[in-house]
Amino acid sequence: MRSDAARKGLEKAPHRSLFKALGFIDEEMNKPLIGIASSYSEIIPGHMNLDKVVQAVKDGVRMAGGVPVTFGTIGVCDGISMNHTGMSYSLPSRQLIADSIEIVASAHAFDGIVLVPNCDKVVPGMMMAAARLDIPAIVISGGPMLAGNTCGKPTDLSGVFEAVGAVKAGKMTEEELGELEDTACPTCGSCSGMYTANSMNCLSEVLGLALPYNGTIPAVYSERMRLAKKSGMKIVDLIKEDITPSKILTEDAFMNAITADMALGCSTNSLLHLPAIANEVGISIDFDRVNEISARTPDFCKLSPAGHHHIEDFHFAGGIPALINSLVDKELINRDCLTVTGKTVYENVKNAKVRNNDVIRYDHPYSPTGGLVVLKGSLAPDGAVVKKAAVAPEMLQHKGPARVYDSEEEVSKAILGGEINHGDVVVIRFEGPKGGPGMREMLSPTSLLAGMGMDKTVALITDGRFSGATRGASIGHVSPEAALGGPIAYVQEGDIIEIDMDKKTLNLLVDEEELKKRVPKTKEKKVSGYLKRYAKGVSSADKGAIFER
């Protein structure tokens, strides 16, 4: 066992003495040492139940003959950090999470590791760590929040953000907003739509790093505790069989995940996180291949914010197992990829059935093509990403004048001030990984426009990113970013921008000779501490905003 390096032999008597200071007994020295990385905190709704999940994992580990030891990681609530300085720290936290787990697991010679995340950057950060460490690992999340119920209608966090715009537009009263505020987020768990956290928790199943239904069992269900116990037991099996992430996270596994991503209409952030996880095992995800997968994969689901269904509805409809089985039936994924069960991805789900054809539209997809699209063109030579499944049909093609802003704060002020007109293309730049720094999610501008009823007439384009809760023609991850002198830095007020999501193009309709005369806009931001170090090391969005290997 790997832990022998810290526990076996005469010269390790001092080490064993320290273990005994923790309460270990001699009988535990010969059993697998299992690290449990938990992001439990009292500031993130998705993490407030993780102490209970961890306890269930520990019970499972002990039942299977292992010795569990817990340690903590950081986390950021994207909702609470939205639209202020805090959002600059969300994506950068992913790197710290991966690094901290690597440090603790390596320093203490764990035989295996159980990863207990829930929200946006914690899930991919932990999977990056698993890939990097390459010791037996399994993911068990805290589970999704139940949808709210406001005046008899299902509600969620994105609805609260959009309601702010509705109040500003005179379409909703402040009293109605207050009632929505009180009821939209009724339980612990990751927010109830197909936002980033739930996207990545669902994709952890497809990648093979989690047991079936990890992504969809509601946080408040006892079934979540049972799955946690099974995950604790399974990590001991993985150690015995020496099944490590490098044997699971193959190129085919990532292509399976992207295929499921397209069928689900996941958050655009998945195309930041899947490349980052793949990078840890030496695999590169090419955006052209992403578009090839999108072109052949039907869009089966419209979960909030794209539609009115929530994660609990998807769970009751059969969840990821039913989705995988549907994709296998259509010969769209590799059925033979290994998973943490020790079986293939298909063997795990071969008996799963779609139980609600309205939620998982296997027989009558919403679209013959996938929920996410990578756009390329003169404005985004290296690519940009849009959640096509959440775009109104009339906005799939759009041409309009650029309204140019150099920060999220500027554009939010402009929207609230009535400066944005129907038909405009709002450009938000210097919000990329380096330029932000930190590539802030910008849910507030998109939600304000949606609440004002302008999401079907106005497009947004940014070198930053949008929330998984965003809907509308919101195009993010424009690469190269403005801070690197990308074409977005040359855009001027009134320039015509053309979007065609069917043709997968994003073009700045300015004569090349005119562009050569222009000087790119630059913007120096005074940052210090971690953000300063992050800006120096981070790559562009098309590479997953990773630190170069």
Sign (positive/negative) of CA torsion 337, 340, 342, 347? Answer: negative
Between the alpha carbon of residue 27 and those of residues 14, 20, 62, the distances in Å are 17, 11, 13
CB 432, CB 464: distance < 8 Å = yes
The two beta strands, 425-428 and 505-508, are: unpaired
CB 461, CB 478: distance < 8 Å = yes
C-alpha to C-alpha distance for 188 and 179, rounded to whole angstroms:
19
C-alpha to C-alpha distance for 385 and 477, rounded to whole angstroms:
6
Cβ atoms < 10 Å from Cβ of 107: 9
DSSP, collapsed to helix, strand or coil, labels residue 148 as strand
AA letter at 281: V
* Burial (CB count within 10 angstroms: exposed 0-12, middle 13-18, buried 19+), residue 475: buried
DSSP H or E stretch at residue 296:
helix 287-296
DSSP 85-113: GGGGGHHHHHHHHHHHHHHHHHHTT-SEE
C-alpha to C-alpha distance for 333 and 253, rounded to whole angstroms:
9
DSSP 488: G
Q: What angle do CA 66, 98, 431 make, to 5 degrees?
A: 155
- Catalytic site includes residue 467: yes
- In sequence order, the β-bridge partners of residue 33 are 67
CB 371, CB 263: distance < 8 Å = yes
The two beta strands, 373-377 and 459-462, are: unpaired
Count of CA atoms in the C-beta half-sphere (13 A) of 473: 30
Catalytic residue among 93, 467, 479, 540: 467
CB 203, CB 196: distance < 8 Å = no
AA letter at 222: S
CB 305, CB 389: distance < 8 Å = no
Token look-up 């589970």 returns 143
- Residues annotated as catalytic are 467
